[in-house]
A and B are shown apart, each in its own frame.
Chain A
């Protein structure tokens, strides 16, 4: 009896030392990436925060403390106020259209029509392109003297697209006229063209996951097709809508390349956004502290959306 017990104890001991060795290996696997992220994301954000309250607004770094001077300057600045206005309207229009188009198209494609995979691929391929390519092409398509305006001639409408400086329903607000800048529509169209595929794919995956019995049951209860979508399907798709809104919101708040390639700031900054301002003031104007302050404001705006989303979706995960 005794030797056998000893063997058992020994294997148990072996297993335990092996497990703790394995645990140590697991930590060693993860550690390099985690340390890199701590430094390159959190450390660098902290460093940017420090630059944003410094006096570094020339080529020569100057880390003396400036307090909130750069932030106060920005919030009183014509260009930055225009950026905030443009971001608000761009975000609302962009998200709204991406949701409506993506949902509508996914419902149409989910009807088991012939050629659905062709349609799906046509609506999805812009996702594989760069914002720069999109910007270069749409700059020509929405050029007021060519592109779509050649067709619109027949209807006697000639929108000025991104060259329009009109502000709809505008009123004085700070330095700027607050209202909907017409030129923003041009950029929204290009961005929607590129990103609709994302919401389409998300909704389509959601629709495919809804069991047919559910629709059957609603039909037996006498619901019309429209009612089934409104009362049964849309509520089920709600978490997907939340995900799409959050992901599109963070893309919209940090957008840079599309606008930089397509229109730039525009006359009177009608298509300017914080991402473009940050880039130009930092890397073309050497106003590092101002650029850092813009970046921190952008980060805070994104965090307002992302942090609650991350926390709640991680909680649901566990």
Chain B
């Protein structure tokens, strides 16, 4: 019994130590961003602020607000569009397989893993040609297209769990391809849409490479603005920390509120699902 208790304590000890380590970045972000400017020095990084001061948040907000809005304008349509297309593809690839559809699926899936550097130069040439370079719409199209493999995969695995017999009985009742999709699949897809939307929202919000290469200053999404803020020599690091927290807030909130669905998306991304 004593041995058992010891092992339990040891387990808790390891978990607590690692949990503290995992939380230190959050602690430093919070503490630093709440300090008044004259308390921000490298020597007192770990100490609590003597008084709460939100001026770094107002400063960071002033710097980042336009880019925050750019990210909203980007992430909402891109998430919705890629989810709808993913649902359509997933429906066909799970319930209407035809000769070659499995090959098509594998060909699509590969796109999930490529380094986007390998399509970036042509993409930018293309977007400039069609007049979408340095526009939010250019970024939206980019994220929809390169999000297709993952949303298709997620919906295909999700729909595979809906029994074929439901579809067959609907067909006997006279429902055609679209009817089955609208009246059987879509009503059953709500949790699928939540998982896919959270996944796409998080990924597109956090994305950096497309954001920094396809847009210029005024159209930069939030992550590029944050990177510029931290790269600039004149910006104090309490403002940087406040900025990092502001930029992270939407996805953090989604994780805190809908964490279960986020984890489901995480697991669905590993191909087999």
| Interface residues in chain A, defined as those with a beta carbon under 8 Å from any beta carbon in chain B | 18, 21-23, 25-27, 29-30, 32-34, 36-38, 40-45, 47-48, 51, 101, 104-105, 108-109, 111, 113, 119, 121-141, 143, 145-148, 150-151, 193, 197-198, 201-202, 205, 243-244, 247, 250, 253-254, 256-257, 260-261, 274-275, 278-279, 282-283, 288, 291-292, 294-296, 298-299, 302, 306-307, 309-311, 313-314, 316-318
Contact = CB atoms under 8 A, between A and B. Distances in A.
B14, B263, B267: most-surrounded residue (chain A CB, <10 A): B263
Given A30-B89, A140-B45, A37 B145 contact: yes
A59 to B, nearest CB: 13
A310 B115 contact: no
Nearest to A119: B15
Contact of A128 (B11, B22, B122, B254): B254
A299 B115 contact: yes
Interface of B: 8, 11-12, 14-15, 18-19, 22-25, 28-29, 32, 42-43, 45-46, 85, 88-89, 91-93, 96, 98, 101-102, 104-111, 113-123, 126, 145-146, 148-149, 152, 176-178, 202, 205-209, 212-213, 223, 226-227, 230, 237, 240-241, 243-244, 247-248, 251-252, 254-256, 259, 262-263, 266-267, 269-272
Contact of B271 (A27, A283, A313): A313
Given A29-B177, A129-B251, A309-B271, 9 more contacts: A42-B107, A104-B14, A109-B15, A132-B206, A132-B247, A136-B227, A141-B28, A201-B267, A279-B209
Given A26-B96, A41-B119, A124 B223 contact: no
9 contacts: A30-B101, A51-B122, A121-B259, A122-B19, A133-B247, A140-B32, A145-B42, A150-B45, A310-B113
Given A41-B111, A292-B121, A140 B22 contact: no
Given A26-B98, A147-B45, A137 B118 contact: no
Contact of B106 (A40, A135, A138, A314): A314
